[in-house]
Structure 1
Amino acid sequence: MTLKQTLSVIDLLDNAYVNGEKVKELFTSYPNVTVEVTTVSGEQGSTDFIKVIIPGVEGKSRGGVAPTIGIVGRLGGIGARPSRIGLVSDADGAVAAVASALKLADMQVKGDTLKGDVIVTTHICPDAPTLPHEPVDFMDSPVDILTMNKYEVLSEMEVVLSIDTTKGNRVINHKGIAISPTVKEGYILRVSDDLLRIMEMTSGQLPVTYPITMQDITPYGNDIYHINSILQPSVATDSPVVGLAITAQSAVPGCGTGASHETDIALAARFAIEVAKETTNGTCKFYDEVEFDKITKLYGSMKILQTMGNEVIH
């Protein structure tokens, strides 16, 4: 159901000259969809941030009360030119996010509009730098993580699904997709049963999850190891965040080319769409509110993990 959109987005993004405006043009035939493009420059170049709003029948953008979900395509860059030619593995998050937005937009004109708003964000950079990392190199970005969160993690998002290529590690030994436990306000909570159910349905297989650590949910820049940036949105919001990882059986560098698998990306987009349907309809919960209230009363706030900490280590 999402392979057509995935292939269209890959064909568009696998281009040294692509930019945010060209991505915006994908949505010109969908009058109810709003797309904003913002170019931001950093020390190592520039990137175009994309925000796509697909309004719901009872969405807050129309004065309704249905929940709003955010789908964030997380990455350093879609390309590493001139050191690498072509679309890099790290681009998968952007492809999946844009493909999910395109499918949701197409659903609207065919009479299938979700109950609540969906906000999709990502950024487009075909010539991002690379970064040494163990066990394989990462993609870097022309802008820092705080800037990414500023443009990609919005206050309107009541839940956040963060999609990222997560292949450069040895802890996920599965090709396809996997989800993280829910992260909220510095707490790593239990994996959502609703998300597991939706993953079983969309993949036709047993659900796959992956471990995360306290290090992974702290901000970049604190000189602590992170599996990757998939859970960086959690440092910028009090809304619950789940990482949707596009995975591989072997360790694949984010700057590797020829490593993007169309069917895996389409599966991630399809999962994101089904999560959006159920979340905005009130039938999917990212976390148990009662249990979260209890754990915070018992153990206090963990919001310090959303900050750079209280001590400068020399």
Structure 2
Amino acid sequence: MLKHVLDVIDLLDRPQTSGELLADHLRSVLAAATGPAATSPTTPTIEVRTVTGDRGSTDFVKVTVPGRAGRLSGGDAPTLGILGRLGGVGARPERIGLVSDADGAVAALAAAAKLVDMHARGDVLDGDVILSTHVCGWAPTRPHDPVPFMDSPVDIALCNREEVSDAMDAIVSIDTTKGNRLLNHRGIALSPTIRQGWVLRVSEDLLSVLETVTGEPARVIPVTTQDISPYGNDVHHINSLLQPSVATDAPVVGLAITAGTAVAGCATGASHEPDIAAAARFAVETAKDFGRGAAHFYDRAEADRLIELYGRMTRLQGRSA
């Protein structure tokens, strides 16, 4: 996985970076893979879509990796979404180089490269996997407490529309989460599961995956009600880690890439490649287990009981109750 991370960083850490550059790289990974033909009747697809906002443009990259028993192959295995959340991979001309905020995109693209390579070699997962992020080397910055954040050329609602799909039965959202004093640990941390406005208990299955890929006790990032409400409501959010939860009925978990101190999202020289690789490995291992029914994001009976007792919380998604 570290090789894929280094390859992706090399392509992102340049003024000329683009979604098409990353897509070409993923296509080359697919073409170069050797071994027996994949047993799935379909092959991975790689798409790029350029979207322009008030503050510039960004390229959305979407990779779909079919599973042997996924819906794209006529089966019924569940589909996992893996999203790399960020404002931009670069803050030019204000900052030169790859910014800390890029880590989520790097992790998602590295996971995509790994899954594409596995599929081409014949290691096909049970369920489909949809991976999405966006690439912008010239993104703006904005003030945030305790350290500055990266902003995005397009608003978060548009990002959700481009990246969140109704086909996703569950979502892993990966985001650099270093600009806070809530979790002073360098590595990766899991959030509680968010579903339809409810903050549910942390998934035991995903904690096991996290501990397996890191070899350390699992860390859990604290989540508040504010963090799962939509951006633009004039309240503080830890970052965009859990913003996909406002755009889907599926369960969402955040995978935070963290640091021992508060690090600005627009800081350069702040990305730690082994931590990004751990996040990408978590995403791939979760995809393996989720597609075969061995990893559950939440207890459905318990979630239904909460709704029965206390009602729906969809108003926290910006929807009517």
TM-score range, shorter chain: over 0.9
Quick check: 1:13 aligned with 2:24? no
Paired residues for 1:223-242 under 5 Å: 223-242=234-253
Q: Which moved more, 1:102-111 or 1:210-219?
A: 102-111
Question: 2: distance between equivalents of 1:226 and 1:290?
Answer: 29
- Kindly tell me: are residues 125 and 209 of structure 1, through their superposed partners in 2, closer, same or farther at Cα, counting changes over 3 Å? same
Residue 304 (structure 1) aligns with: 315
Asked if the contact 1:100/1:273 (under 8 Å) is kept, the reply is yes
Structure 1 counterpart of 2:8, one-letter code = V
User: Residue 111 of structure 2 aligns with which residue?
Assistant: 100
- Aligned-residue CA RMSD (Å): 1.1
Please tell me whether the aligned partners of residues 314 and 320 of structure 2 are also in contact (alpha carbons under 8 angstroms): no
Cα distance in structure 1, aligned partners of 2:219 and 2:117 = 29
Structure 2 residue ranges without an equivalent (≥5): 32-42
Q: 2:184 aligned with 1:185, yes or no?
A: no
| 2:68 corresponding residue in structure 1 | 57
Q: For structure 1, which runs of at least 5 residues remain unmatched after alignment?
A: none
How far 1:33 sits from its partner (Å)? 1.3
Contact 2:48 2:62 in 1 (8 A): yes
Q: What is the CA-CA distance between 1:308 and the residue it aligns to?
A: 7.3
Tell me, yes or no, if the aligned pair for 2:27 and 2:46 is still in contact at 8 Å. Answer: no
SS at match of 1:37: strand
CA offsets, 1:260-306, max 9 Å, x none?
00000000000110000000110000000000010000000000000
Q: Could you tell me how far 1:108 is from its partner in structure 2?
A: 1.4
Distance between the aligned counterparts of 1:19 and 1:10, measured in 2? 12
Write the deviation string for residues 62-106 of structure 1: whole angstroms up to 9, x where unpaired.
111000000000000000000000000000000000000000111
Give the TM-score taking structure 2 as reference length: 0.95
Q: 1:309 to 1:223 in 2, by over 3 A?
A: farther
Give secondary structure in 2 for the equivalent of 1:143.
coil
1:80 paired residue number:
91
User: What is the CA–CA distance in structure 2 between the aligned matches of 1:27 and 1:166, rounded to whole Å?
Assistant: 26
Alpha-carbon separation, structure 2, partners of 1:57 and 1:157: 16
Partner of 1:144: 155
Amino acid at match of 2:229: T
The answer to whether structure 1 residue 246 and structure 2 residue 257 are counterparts is yes
- Equivalents in 2 of 1:308, 1:205: separation in Å? 39
Q: Deviations over 1:188-226 (max 9, x none)?
A: 000000001111111111111011000000000000100
Partner of 1:207: 218
8 A Cα contact 1:222 1:308, kept in partner: no
* Contact map agreement 1:139 1:254 (CA 8 A) in 2: yes
In structure 2, how many angstroms separate the alpha carbons of the residues matched to 1:242 and 1:18? 29
State whether residues 40 and 46 of structure 1, in contact with CA within 8 Å, keep that contact through their aligned partners in structure 2.
yes
CA distance in 1, matches of 2:286, 2:215: 15
Structure 1 length normalisation: TM-score? 0.97
Aligned to 1:38: 49
Q: Give the match for residue 283 of structure 1.
A: 294
1:260 is matched with which residue: 261, 271, 278? 271
Question: How far apart are 1:309 and its partner, in Å?
Answer: 8.0
Deviation for aligned residue 1:54: 0.6
Residue identity in the other structure for 2:4: Q
Alpha-carbon distance in 1 for matches of 2:160, 2:7:
27
Residues of 2 paired with 1:26 and 1:11: CA distance? 11
1:156 aligns to what SS in structure 2?
coil
Aligned residue type for 1:284: A
Q: Helix, strand or coil for the counterpart of 1:28?
A: helix
Describe the superposition over 1:18-63 as per-residue Cα deviations: whole angstroms up to 9, x where unpaired.
1111111012242621011110000000000111001100111111
- Whole-angstrom distance in 1 between the partners of 2:152 and 2:248: 21
Q: Distance in 1 between matches of 2:66 and 2:80?
A: 11
Query: In 2, Cα distance between the equivalents of 1:236 and 1:155?
Result: 9
Structure 1 counterpart SS, 2:81: strand
Deviation at 1:110, TM superposition (A): 2.1
CA contact under 8 A between 2:207 and 2:218: conserved in structure 1?
yes
Asked if the contact 1:218/1:308 (under 8 Å) is kept, the reply is no
Q: Is 1:67 the equivalent of 2:78?
A: yes
